[in-house]
Structure 1
Amino acid sequence: MCNYIIAFCIYTLKIEIYALQSLKTIRKWLSRLWETDMDITIKTIRGVTISSLITLGLAACSSSPAPWTQADDSPWGAKHDAEEQNLPTDDAVSDTSLNDPVLLADPEPEPVIMQEPEPAPAPEVIVPVVVEEELTPEQTVMALPGDGYAVQVYAGKTAESVEKFKNDKDLSGLTVVKTDRAGSIVYVLVDLHEDRAAANAAAGDLEATTGSRPWVRSVAGLQKIVAQ
C-alpha cells in the first residue's frame, strides 16, 4: 500500500513541475503589473501541494487504521442497532386470522322468506235485474182465477169510445178489455172482484154513477171471449 502512495506522490510532483513550467510560460505573456501576484500564486500552489503529499505519505505509512475505516462509536449507531432489533419479523407481522378457513368460507346466504300470495278477490256476482213487463188488460184478466166476478159497465166497437165514456164518468179504477165475439171486436169496460157479493155491491154504486144498470158476470165467462 505504501508503494502505491509513493508512486502517486511522484506522479503528482511531476504534474506540479509541468504546471510550474506552464505558469512560467504564461508569466512571460502577462504584464509586469501582475508579476508580483503571480509569484504569490505559484508559492501558494507549491505549499499546498507539498503539504498534501506529506499528509498522504504519513497516513499510508502509519500502522493505525484511518479514522474513516474505524467503527462508529457514536451513540446514534447503538440506538439505530437497537431499533433494528426491536422491529417485528415477518412472522410476527403476518395475520394468521387471514388463513382461518371459517373466515375464508363464503357467507351463508340469508334465508328467503316466501310470502303467501294474497287470496284472489271473490268474483263480483252480477244479479240480473228482471224487468217485469207491464201486463196488458187482456193478460191481466187471463191471469185471474176463474171463480172471480166482473161487473161490465159499458161496451163499444172502438177503444177510443170506451175510454171517452170512462173519462166522462170518472171511472179511472175500471179496465178496458178487448173481446172477440164471433169475429167481431168489442171493447168492454169492467170492474173485477174476487167474489159475487163484492161484485153486486159495486154494481149498485156504478148504476148510480152511470145511470145504467151494469152486468155482473163470471171471470171464467169473460176469459172465454178475451181476444188474444
Structure 2
Amino acid sequence: MGIELTWEIIIIIVVGGFLAAFIDSVVGGGGLIALPALLAAGLPPHLALGTNKLAGTMSSLTSTITFLRSGNIDLKMTSKLVPLAAIGAITGTLLVQFVPSEWLRPLVIVLLIIVTIYTLFRRDWGSIATFRSHSKRSWIAMAVTALLLGSYDGFFGPGTGSFLIFAFLILGLDFVKAAGNAKLLNLTSNVCSLVVFICLSSVSYGIGLLMGAAMVLGSLVGSRVAIRQGACYVKPLFIGVSTLLITRQIWVMIAG
C-alpha cells in the first residue's frame, strides 16, 4: 500500500497487536490499541479499519479456540445466536459505507457508563454462575441482542466485547463463561465484517498478517491467564477497559 515497513513501524504493529489481543481475548476493547497503532503505521482510516478486522479475526479465532477447549463456551446456547450475529455484522459493515459512524458515539458513551457502574456496584456479580435454563423471553432478548450487537460491531465496534459480556452476565453466567460466549459471537461478527471489507478492497494484507501473528500470541497468553485466574482477574479488567473506552469516546467526540 506504499508504506515502508521500517523497524519502528514493525515494533509499533507487533507490540500494539500483542497488547490489543491480550486485552481483547478476555473483555474486548483491543481496538483502543490496535487502531491507533495501524494509523501510526501510516494506513488511511478506511484501510486501518479493514486491516484491524483481519488481525482481530486471527486474534478472536485463537482466543475462541482456547475458551472452547477449556469448556467455557456454551455451544448449545451460542449456536442459535451465531447466525443472527453474522447477519447483523454484514448489515452493519455495509451500512457504515453510507452513514457516519460518529452518530452512534454519544449513545455508546451513555451505555458504557451504565454498564461499568452497574458492574462496579454488583460486587459478587459474575463470581458464581446462577444460570439454569432459558425462558422464551430470555431467548428472544438474547436473539435481539446478538443481532443488534453484530450490526453494531460491523458498523462501529468499540465496546462490542463489553456489551456482549454484560448480556451474558445478565443471564446469570460467571465472568469467564460470559467472556467465552462473547468471544464466539465476536468472532462471528469479525469474520463476516472482514469478508465485506475484503470485497471492498479495504484490507492491507501484509500489515494485517504481521499484526495478526502478534495478536495470536497475545490471545493465547490473555485467554489462558483469564481462564486460570477467573472472575477475580476478568472483572477488574472488564471495568478498566470499559472506563478506557468511555474516556476514549468522549475525547474523540470533543476533539472532533
TM normalised by structure 2 equals 0.18
TM-score between both structures, scaled by the size of structure 1: 0.19
Higher strand share: 1
> RCO (CA 8 Å, sep 6+): is it higher in 1 or 2?
2
- Bigger Rg, structure 1 or 2: 1
